[in-house]
Amino acid sequence: MFKYLQSIGKALMMPIAVLPAAALLMGIGYWIDPVGWGGESALAAFLITAGAAIIDNMSLLFAVGVAYGLAKDNNGSAALSGLVAFMVITSLLSPGTVSSLFGRELSASEYLAFERIANQFIGILSGVVAAMAYNRFSKTELPNFLAFFSGRRLVPIVTAGAMVVVSGVFLFVWPIMFAGLVSFGTTIAGLGAFGAGLYGFFNRLLIPIGLHHPLNSVFWFDLVSINDLGNFWGGPDGGGVIGQTGMYMAGFFPVMMFGLPGACLAMYRCARPENRKKVYGIMVAAAFASFFTGITEPIEFSFIFVAPLLLLVHATLTGISMIIAASMQWFAGFGFSAGLVDLVLSTAVPFATGWYMLIALGIVYFFVYYFVFSFFIKKFNLQTPGREIEDTQSEMELELETGDWHTMAVGFIEGLGGKENITSIDNCSTRLRLSVKDTTLISDSELKKFGAFGIVKPSKTEAQVVVGPKVQFVADEIKKML
C-alpha cells in the first residue's frame, strides 16, 4: 500500500505540471486588468478564460494523468481509459441519474454530494482503475472473431465495465465519504491560521517518503471544499474569499525563496574548510533552484537523512511561516511551487493581499534558517554536506559538464549495482524511482559522486535517487542503456 501511494504521488506530478501554464495565462491576464478581472479588457478576459480552462478541469486532467503515469509503459491507451472511466462515473452519479435510480427526489445532503462528483478524488480514482485495467489486460488475446478488441483496445472496454461496478458501490458510499471529507475540511478550515500551520508542518515532514503530494491535493484542490489553489486562480466567480484564499500556499514563499537558501549558507559555512569548494557549487545551484522555481528537494535531501533533526526544525519553521502569513493575511499563490516566478505572476491576482510582506518575512527567515541551522549543526555535530570526517567522495570527485547525461547515467547504473540489479526505472519531477533486486548493492557514495543529492530506500527492492529538476534526461539516458 505504501509503495502504491508513492506511485500515485509520482503520477500526480503529470497533471500538476500543467498548472504553470494556467498560472502564466491568468497571471498576465490579471496584470492587464487588475480591477475588472477581465471585465474591462478583451485580451485579459481571453487569457484568464484560457487559464481557467485548465484550473476548472483539474479533475479530468487527474483522471488522464494518473492513468498515464501508473500504466506500466505510459501508453496513451491508458490515458484514454482514464478519460472513459471519469466520464462513466460522473455521468452515472450525476444528481439527475441518481434521482432516477432511486425513484425519488434527493435530500439536500445527497444532492450536494452527487453535484460535486466531478472532483479531483474521483479523477484520481478513475486514473487508478484505468491503470490497473491497462496493466492487467493490455496484452490479453481474445478469440479470432473478437480479435479486433484484443490487447490495448480491450482496456477502455474493461475500464468502462469496471467503472459501472465502482459507480454502483459509490452510489451508496459516496454520500457518506463526502460528508466525512466535508467534515474534515470544515475542521481544518475552522482552525484558521493554526490549521494552515499544521498543514505546512506535515507537508514538509512527508517529503522523505513522497506522500506530501496526496496531502497537497486535499488543501489545494476541490477534494474537501477547500480548493485553495483553484479558488485563488478562479477569478471573481471561482469561490475565493479575499483575506482567506491563499492561506495554504502563501507561507511557503518565505521558506522556499529565502529560508532554505539560508540553510544552504549555514551548511556551507559549517562544512570543513577542505570541503567547502565542493559544497559551494552544490549549495549555490540548489539555493538558486529553490529561490527561482520553488524546487526544494535538492536542498532538503542534503540533510534529511544525515541530520533528521534538521527536518523537524525545517517542518516546524514552515508551519510557523504558514501561521504568520495566514494570520496577517499576507497572501500569494502559485501554479507550480512557491518560487520567484510564481510570486511575480500571482501579485496581480485579486486574492493576493499584502504579498510584498512575504518578501519581508522571507528576508527575516533567511537569517532565522541560517542561525538556527548553524546552531543545530554545530551543537549536535550533525554530518551535513562537507562535515564528514572522512570524505568518501574526495578521491574520485568528478567535474561533470552541464548536460553530460551519458556520464551521469553510466555512473548511476554502476552505483545502483549494475544493469542486472535494476528491474525497472521511472521518474517524477526531481527523483529517479527504481525497482531493484537488492538495495544493499546500491552505493550511495558512487551515486552522489555522479550528481545525486540523496538516496531513499523505502524497501529492500525499491529506491529513489534525488537528482533535481533535470532528472528526466538522466532517466531517459539510463533507459536507453538498459
Q: Which residues are catalytic?
A: 428
CA nearest neighbour of 200 among 365, 318, 300, 358 = 318
Helix, coil or strand: residue 82: helix
Edge-first strand listing for the sheet containing 422-427: 422-427, 431-436, 462-466, 454-456
Dihedral angle at the C-alpha atoms of 266, 272, 277, 282, nearest 10 degrees? -50
- Cell numbers 501554464 correspond to 21
Cite the DSSP H helix spans in 93-211.
Answer: 95-102, 108-115, 120-137, 154-190, 192-205
Helix, coil or strand: residue 451: coil
DSSP 8-state assignment for residue 106? P
Strand partners, 466: 431, 454
Report the amino acid identity of residue 406: H
CA nearest neighbour of 292 among 355, 345, 356, 340 = 340
Cα dihedral across residues 123, 129, 131, 137: positive or negative:
negative
Dihedral angle at the C-alpha atoms of 7, 12, 17, 22, nearest 10 degrees? 180
